[in-house]
Structure 1
Amino acid sequence: MPIPADRSFRALTGGAAPRVKVVDIGANPIDADPPYAAMLRAGDAEVVGFEPNRAALALLDARKGPLERYFPHAVGDGARHRLHICQAPGMTSLLEPDPAVLALFHGFPDWGRVLATEEVATRRLDDIPETAGADLLKLDIQGAELMVLQNAEARLRDAVAIQAEVEFLPLYKGQPLFAEVEAFLRARGFMLHRFFPTVSRAVAPMMVNNDPYAALGQLVWADAVFIRDLTRPGALSGRQLLALAAILHDAYGAYDIAFRLLAEQDRRDGGARAGGYLAALQAPLRQAA
Structure 2
Amino acid sequence: MKRQINQLRKVLFAIVHPACWKPLTLGVGAAIEHIHGLRGLSVDGIIDVGANVGQFSLACRILYPNVPIVAFEPIPDAATLYRKVHGGCRDVTLKQCGLGTEAGTAVLHLSRSADSSSLLPIGELQTQVFPKTEEVGTIEVPVARLDDFTSTWSGRNNQILKLDVQGFELNVLLGGQQTLQSCRFVYVECSEIQLYQGQAVRQEVSSFLESKG
| TM-score using structure 1 length | 0.54
Match of 1:124 in 2: 145
Match of 1:83 in 2: 108
* 1:29-82, Cα deviation, whole Å (9 max, x unpaired): 3757765343333x2x21011112222222222232221111112111224322
Q: Which of 145, 170, 191 matches 1:167? A: 191
Give the match's secondary structure for 2:69.
strand
CA shift for structure 1 position 98 = 1.0
Give the match's secondary structure for 2:68.
strand
Give the match's secondary structure for 1:36.
helix
Match of 1:115 in 2: 136
Q: Which of 138, 144, 153 matches 2:177? A: 153
Q: Tell me, which stretches of 5 or more residues in structure 1 are unaligned? A: 11-16, 190-289
Q: Which of 76, 84, 98 matches 1:62? A: 84
Q: Tell me, which stretches of 5 or more residues in structure 2 are unaligned? A: 1-33
* 1:119-146, Cα deviation, whole Å (9 max, x unpaired): 3331001012324436111111111111
CA shift for structure 1 position 9 = 5.0
Q: Which of 158, 165, 174 matches 1:141? A: 165
1:123 maps to a residue whose letter is A
Q: Answer whether contact 1:86 1:114 (CA < 8 A) is retained.
A: yes
Q: Answer whether contact 2:99 2:143 (CA < 8 A) is retained.
A: yes
Match of 1:213 in 2: none
1:86 maps to a residue whose letter is S
CA shift for structure 1 position 175 = 0.5
Counterpart Cα distance in 2 of 1:58 and 1:102? 27
Seen in structure 2, the aligned counterparts of structure 1 residues 9 and 89 have a Cα distance that, compared at 3 Å, is closer
Which has the higher Rg, Structure 1 or Structure 2?
Answer: 1
Q: Answer whether contact 1:40 1:67 (CA < 8 A) is retained.
A: no
1:27 maps to a residue whose letter is A
Q: Which of 18, 21, 37 matches 2:45? A: 21
* 1:232-258, Cα deviation, whole Å (9 max, x unpaired): xxxxxxxxxxxxxxxxxxxxxxxxxxx
* 1:96-134, Cα deviation, whole Å (9 max, x unpaired): 1111x13543xx2421x2111223331001012324436
1:52 maps to a residue whose letter is P
Q: Which of 51, 67, 75 matches 1:53? A: 75
Match of 2:11 in 1: none
Counterpart Cα distance in 2 of 1:62 and 1:35? 16
Counterpart Cα distance in 1 of 2:85 and 2:126? 34
Q: Answer whether contact 1:23 1:131 (CA < 8 A) is retained.
A: no
Aligned residues: CA RMSD: 2.4
Seen in structure 2, the aligned counterparts of structure 1 residues 2 and 86 have a Cα distance that, compared at 3 Å, is closer
* 1:215-241, Cα deviation, whole Å (9 max, x unpaired): xxxxxxxxxxxxxxxxxxxxxxxxxxx
| TM-score using structure 2 length | 0.72
Alignment length, in residue pairs?
Answer: 172
CA shift for structure 1 position 86 = 1.2
